[in-house]
């Protein structure tokens, strides 16, 4: 089958354009998600509920987009879903540029977040299907790492715009204008990338899958030639290895939801909510430092992590995050009055968070069957981002700093529980393991 050839094939220009498209997509998702933290300063807010609503806008609408794109990408295809999200990006970016009140900012931000949620969920499902096993983990790590690039870019634009004109209006306009070059790159690369051959085959569209393979992965190769190659591949290509564990769907849902909740809520509270609530003047710098540290760790993991066990990466980084968050809680009196100490702890936290984030986002899309990969990838993200994170933002609005940091530590403890469960009951999905083995599925008959 063509999907076998893609899975065990060599790197081609199609993979290059796919990698560019997915990396830029992740960058834009992070850029959009961080808007809410800056939007709280665009216009005066005296109502605490409105401030919480602006901050909660990001997880709410991101999750709505995830809820939409999960089943849609399974039904209509990965590439088709991307065209829908890109159209919404263009409309939302124009709207943000001209929005002069929160009544205009919120609906256009909702549109952007809806698209970003769908975009990221589809990338997390499609990357595993489109990339060869040899490069699957490495590309996934690097693409996720561009989330940190998006956070850095947003912080730099906000800081530069404010420093230049001391104007929140100009900051908003610059943030909106920055969408233009990013969208141009995204649109062009999406046109050049293929539909998922694996998805097409599981939908029963085998002739179309063969045509896509011929167009994007070979040169001057006829459909009949591909059929012959498929027959040879069935006897010569080694898809998957020994399966010592086949975790149930319930177990996979529990683990992915637990670690997703820790990252969505834990990272969000410290990076995007702590500033607006407690250190408003430091908000862009907190986002900048957190994402720079995250990118640095992501670069290491993206370069070397394909050789490491996904199970070990998740467990070790989860332990590290939990230890640091409890230290942050215990030392609140010290770092709340010593800004240098605060930055030191923020860096230490994001060293482990940066590693954990890449590991859990890679896991969420690779352990599911192809026919429902979009949906099952979406479920833990909807629960963690849309439900739990939104509740957490409102719930912690009246917390003291000590209560806030304790809550954060407890949330990360939930993630550690998930990592421990996966250590004992999960299967290895990193270290070059094929998607067939990682997802515990059987390829359709020829």
Indicate the pTM of the whole model: 0.85
C-alpha closest to that of 291 among 425, 111, 150: 150
CA 293 to chain centre: 17
CA distances from 393 to 24, 156, 378, 406, 439 (A): 28, 25, 21, 14, 34
| DSSP structural state of residue 439 | T
Residues 25-62: tens digit of each pLDDT = 999 888 888 777 666 666 666 666 776 777 778 888 99
Identify the DSSP state of 43. Answer: S
* Percentage of the chain lying above the pLDDT 90 cut: 46
280 phi-psi bin (left φ>0, alpha ψ -120 to 50, beta other): alpha
Query: Residue 7 has what pLDDT?
Result: 86
Task: State the Cα angle at 59 between 296 and 115, rounded to 5°.
Answer: 85
User: Residue 141 is inside which H or E element, if any?
Assistant: helix 133-165
Most confident range (mean pLDDT) of 8-12, 31-35, 174-178 is 8-12
- For 245-294, the pLDDT digits (tens) are 789 999 999 999 999 999 888 877 677 677 666 777 787 788 888 889 98
Q: Which token pair is 206? A: 């085998």
pLDDT higher than threshold 60 for residue 330: yes
> Could you read off the pLDDT of 220-258 as tens digits, one per residue?
344 444 444 444 433 333 333 334 678 999 999 999 999
Residue 356's closest CA among 433, 293, 401, 441? 293
Give the end-to-end CA distance of the chain in Å, rounded to a whole number.
Answer: 7
């Amino acid at each position: 089958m063509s999907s076998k050839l893609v899975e065990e094939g060599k790197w081609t220009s199609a993979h290059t354009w796919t990698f560019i498209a997915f990396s830029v997509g992740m960058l834009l998702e992070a850029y959009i998600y961080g808007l809410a933290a800056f939007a709280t300063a665009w216009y005066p807010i005296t109502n605490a509920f409105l401030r919480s609503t602006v901050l909660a806008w990001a997880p709410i609408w991101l999750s709505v987009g995830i809820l939409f794109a999960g089943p849609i990408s399974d039904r209509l295809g990965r590439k088709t879903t991307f065209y829908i999200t890109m159209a919404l990006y263009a409309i939302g970016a124009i709207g943000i540029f001209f929005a002069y009140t929160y009544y205009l900012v919120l609906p256009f931000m909702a549109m952007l977040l809806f698209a970003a949620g769908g975009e990221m969920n589809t990338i997390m499902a499609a990357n595993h299907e489109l990339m060869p096993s040899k490069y699957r983990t490495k590309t996934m790590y690097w693409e996720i790492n561009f989330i940190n690039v998006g956070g850095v870019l947003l912080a730099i634009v906000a800081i530069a715009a404010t420093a230049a004109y001391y104007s929140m209006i100009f900051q908003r306009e610059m943030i909106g204008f920055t969408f233009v070059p990013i969208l141009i790159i995204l649109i062009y690369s999406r046109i050049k990338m293929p539909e998922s051959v694996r998805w097409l085959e599981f939908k029963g569209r085998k002739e179309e899958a063969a045509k896509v393979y011929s167009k994007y992965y070979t040169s001057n190769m006829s459909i009949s030639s591909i059929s012959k190659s498929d027959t040879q591949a069935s006897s010569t290509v080694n898809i998957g290895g020994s399966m010592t564990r086949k975790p149930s769907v319930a177990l996979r849902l529990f683990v992915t939801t637990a670690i997703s909740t820790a990252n969505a809520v834990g990272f969000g509270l410290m990076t995007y909510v702590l500033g607006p609530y407690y250190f408003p003047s430091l908000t862009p710098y907190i986002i900048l430092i957190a994402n720079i540290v995250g990118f640095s760790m992501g670069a290491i993991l993206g370069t070397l992590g394909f050789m490491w066990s996904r199970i070990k990466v998740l467990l070790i980084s989860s332990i590290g995050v939990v230890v640091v968050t409890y230290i942050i809680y215990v030392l609140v009196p010290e770092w709340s009055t010593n800004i240098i100490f605060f930055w030191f702890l923020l860096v230490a936290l994001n060293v482990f968070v940066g590693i954990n984030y890449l590991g859990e986002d890679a896991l969420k899309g690779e352990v599911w069957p192809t026919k429902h990969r979009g949906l099952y990838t979406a479920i833990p993200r909807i629960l963690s981002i849309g439900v739990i994170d939104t509740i957490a933002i409102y719930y912690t609005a009246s917390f003291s700093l000590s209560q806030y940091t304790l809550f954060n530590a407890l949330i990360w403890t939930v993630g550690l529980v998930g990592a421990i469960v996966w250590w004992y009951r999960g299967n290895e999905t990193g270290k070059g393991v094929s998607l067939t083995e990682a997802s515990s599925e059987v390829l359709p008959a020829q």
